[in-house]
C-alpha cells in the first residue's frame, strides 16, 4: 500500500491498496499529491503474492522500508505510475495503473494512462503511442479478488525506450530481442509506422 492523503484502506485513484507486485526494492512510484505536503503513508508489505492477490491475502510480514521522497513536476498521469529497475525485474519498464468496479473499465483506464505517458515521455502522437502499447504493452492484474462490491486494479506495462535516434526508437523485449520502431516522417498515422525485430544472438532482422 502506497498512498497520499486522503487515506483509504482500499484502492483509490491516487494510490492506496493497489497490490501491485511491481512495487518492490528499486522501484520508483509517481503519485499525484491531493493535499499540501502530500502526507505519504506505506503499508501492507508482502514477502510473496501472486498477481491479482486472488485469495485476498499474500504472505503478510512486518517490514522496515527505506524510501526517498522527491517531486516529479509535470508528470502527465493522474493515477500512480511505477518505474521498475533491474534490481528485481529482468527489465526496466513503466507501469501505469487504474481502478474501477469492473475489470474491463480498469484495464481501459490503465491503457489510456499508458498512452498518455508515452506521448509525454517521447513527444509522439496518439497513433504512435497506441501502436507501442498494443505491440509491447502487457496488462497485469493488481487487486482482483472480485468479491461482491469489490474494486479491481490493473497495471499496463511497457518497456522503457532504450535508444532514440532520428526516425526510430529501440525497446528491449529481453536480453536477446528488441523492437525497433521505424517512424515515417511523412505520415503521422499508424499506417506510416513500421516495426522490425532484431535478434541480437543471431544477428538478423525479422
Q: pLDDT for 30-68, tens place per residue?
A: 888 777 777 787 878 888 887 777 777 788 888 888 888
Query: Which residue segment(s) compose the domain that 104 sits in?
Result: 2-69+76-160
Q: Is residue 17 part of a domain?
A: yes
Neighbours of 14 (CB within 10 A): 19
Q: Does residue 88 fall inside a structural domain?
A: yes
pLDDT digit string, tens, across residues 91-149: 578 888 888 777 788 888 888 888 898 888 877 788 878 887 887 788 877 766 554 44
- 197 pLDDT band, cuts 50/70/90, is very low
Residue 138 lies in a domain: yes
Q: Where residue 152 falls among pLDDT bands split at 50, 70, 90?
A: low
Q: Residues of 157-166 as b/e, b for ≥16 C-beta within 10 angstroms?
A: bbbebeeeee
Q: Is residue 118 situated within a structural domain?
A: yes
**Mean confidence (pLDDT) of the chain:** 70
Does any domain span residue 82? yes
Q: How confident is the model at residue 190 (pLDDT cuts 50, 70, 90)?
A: very low
**Would you state the pLDDT for residue 203?**
42
Query: pTM of this prediction?
Result: 0.67
CA distance 127 to 156: 17
How many structural domains does the chain have?
A: 1
Phi-psi region of 163 (alpha: psi -120 to 50; beta: other; left: phi over 0): beta
CATH number at residue 117: 3.10.28.20
Q: Is residue 89 part of a domain?
A: yes
Amino acid at each position: 500500500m502506497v498512498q497520499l492523503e486522503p487515506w483509504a484502506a482500499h484502492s483509490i485513484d491516487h494510490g492506496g491498496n493497489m497490490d501491485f507486485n511491481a512495487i518492490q526494492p528499486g522501484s520508483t512510484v509517481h503519485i499525484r499529491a491531493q493535499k499540501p505536503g502530500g502526507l505519504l503513508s506505506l503499508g501492507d508489505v508482502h514477502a510473496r503474492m501472486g498477481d491479482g492477490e486472488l485469495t485476498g491475502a499474500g504472505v503478510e510480514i512486518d517490514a522496515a522500508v527505506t524510501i526517498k521522497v522527491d517531486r516529479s513536476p509535470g508528470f502527465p498521469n493522474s493515477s500512480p505510475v511505477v518505474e521498475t529497475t533491474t534490481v528485481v525485474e529482468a527489465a526496466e519498464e513503466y507501469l501505469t495503473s487504474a481502478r474501477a468496479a469492473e475489470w474491463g473499465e480498469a484495464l481501459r483506464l490503465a491503457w489510456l494512462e499508458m498512452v498518455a505517458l508515452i506521448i509525454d515521455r517521447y513527444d509522439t502522437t496518439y497513433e504512435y503511442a497506441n501502436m507501442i502499447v498494443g505491440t509491447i504493452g502487457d496488462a497485469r492484474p493488481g487487486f482482483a479478488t472480485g468479491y461482491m462490491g469489490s474494486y479491481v486494479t490493473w497495471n499496463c506495462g511497457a518497456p522503457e525506450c532504450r535508444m532514440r535516434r532520428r526516425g526510430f526508437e529501440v525497446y528491449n523485449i529481453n536480453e536477446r530481442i528488441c523492437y525497433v520502431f521505424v517512424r515515417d516522417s511523412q505520415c503521422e498515422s499508424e499506417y506510416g509506422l513500421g516495426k522490425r525485430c532484431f535478434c541480437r544472438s543471431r544477428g538478423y532482422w525479422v
